[in-house]
Amino acid sequence: FFLSLKLEKKTKGKLQKQICQVVLDHFEKQYTAELGDAWSSVRDVLTSPWCWQHALLLNRFSQCPGLESSLAEQGYHPAFPAALPYLPAAFRCYTRTAPGRFPAQKHQPGKLKEYYLLNAASLLPVLALEVKDGEDVLDLCAAPGGKSVAILQCACPGHFRCNEYDDLRSRWLEQTIESFIPNPLMNLIMVSKMDGRQIGDLQPEFYDKVLVDAPCSNDRSWLFSADPQQAVLRLLQRKELSSLQFQLLRSAVKALRPGGSLVYSTCTLSKAENSEVINLILNSCRNVMPVDISEMARGVSQEFTFLSGTQHHELLVLPEKGRAWGPMYVAKLKKMSST
């Protein structure tokens, strides 16, 4: 026990040093204004990586006898209750309140991984999307691939385009899909490297469901930017992100069939990249309506802490000790028929 305490102190010291003060000061100012009292407990979690938690999404394409009982022995429990409006039987995710991380599995060509380690809140956009078998689905900004893999745990799309513009991230996405998805299913999946802002014009009204997990200012990783100069540059560029997010969303709306739905998500707390982008789309696209996701939020309120006072079509997961998931913003929209 003393050894682990000593180790923890050592890790604390090491990680504490890496917090980027420029970013923390910036967040301090912005999020005190935007989140009020909620910010101080969120800040405590974001700046303490030793209290972060990891969830395991089991891979339905890779049988692993004994994994679930071994997880139960280690204090893990199924994260999402059966009472959710949308929870496919094959979708299994495990979490526990204790921090720490289950060992990651290495990529081995030709061998499927048994589980994917992730922040449990990042599964909420997938559950909000409610993909059904045979639907045509677009994951517009898909790397590193966790949400694409999660969608395939839920249903078998008719056609599934996983798009990633960035070259390096696109290779990462391909490797993730190879690690989790068996060959026969690969025929349904198309990995593309297009500028997401153009897909709507190139494939108008082609998809039933679109996920826009937009490039955003990633609060968790930005706090630990090792290089202060890079951090300053990121903070300057932060102002331009909402315009990119809006353009991606507009492209996604064009790519949707009338009656189709779209989920927008980010892993930032920033209002400018979250509700303000959604409001801009709702105000500028007459054929788009908000979709109520409050029932899903209520269904998972045991596992996640949400910011109060958001609209029915959106939610914001706030990290909290013992429930250190998020930040994760999720909003759902629907395209009306053109008549």
What average pLDDT is seen over the chain?
Answer: 92
Closest residue by Cα to residue 311 from 268, 247, 264, 267: 264
User: Looking at residue 338, what is its pLDDT?
Assistant: 62
Identify the H or E element spanning 56.
strand 55-58
User: Looking at residue 109, what is its pLDDT?
Assistant: 81
Identify the H or E element spanning 314.
strand 314-317
User: Would you say 259 is a known binding-site residue?
Assistant: no
In three-state secondary structure terms, 207 is strand
User: Looking at residue 95, what is its pLDDT?
Assistant: 95
8 A C-beta contact, residue 71 and residue 93: no
User: Would you say 121 is a known binding-site residue?
Assistant: no
pLDDT over threshold 50, residue 310: yes
Q: Which two tokens stand for residue 98?
A: 């204790």
User: Looking at residue 4, what is its pLDDT?
Assistant: 40
Q: Which two tokens stand for residue 77?
A: 């429990």
User: Would you say 195 is a known binding-site residue?
Assistant: yes
In three-state secondary structure terms, 310 is coil
pLDDT tens for 74-118 read 999 999 988 899 999 999 999 998 887 788 898 888 889 999 999
Alpha-carbon gap, residue 187 to 234, rounded angstroms: 38
Catalytic residues: 267
User: Would you say 164 is a known binding-site residue?
Assistant: yes
pLDDT over threshold 60, residue 130: yes
The DSSP code for 102 is P
Residue 252 has a CB neighbour count (10 Å cut-off) of 28
User: Would you say 208 is a known binding-site residue?
Assistant: no
In three-state secondary structure terms, 151 is helix
Q: Domains plus CATH for the chain?
A: 17-335 (3.40.50.150)
Alpha-carbon gap, residue 272 to 270, rounded angstroms: 5
User: Looking at residue 11, what is its pLDDT?
Assistant: 47
Q: Which two tokens stand for residue 41?
A: 């407990």
Alpha-carbon gap, residue 3 to 7, rounded angstroms: 6
pLDDT tens for 6-65 read 444 444 444 445 899 999 999 999 999 999 999 999 999 999 999 999 999 999 999 888
Closest residue by Cα to residue 191 from 139, 153, 146, 155: 139
pLDDT tens for 224-278 read 987 888 899 999 999 899 999 999 999 999 999 999 999 999 999 999 999 999 9
User: Looking at residue 171, what is its pLDDT?
Assistant: 94
User: Would you say 110 is a known binding-site residue?
Assistant: no
Which pLDDT band holds residue 319 (cuts at 50, 70, 90)? Answer: very high
Which pLDDT band holds residue 208 (cuts at 50, 70, 90)? Answer: very high
The DSSP code for 182 is -
User: Looking at residue 17, what is its pLDDT?
Assistant: 53
Alpha-carbon gap, residue 146 to 304, rounded angstroms: 19
pLDDT tens for 162-206 read 999 999 999 999 999 999 999 999 989 999 999 999 999 999 999
CB-hemisphere CA count at 13 Å for 292?
4
User: Looking at residue 122, what is its pLDDT?
Assistant: 97
Closest residue by Cα to residue 207 from 132, 274, 285, 284: 132
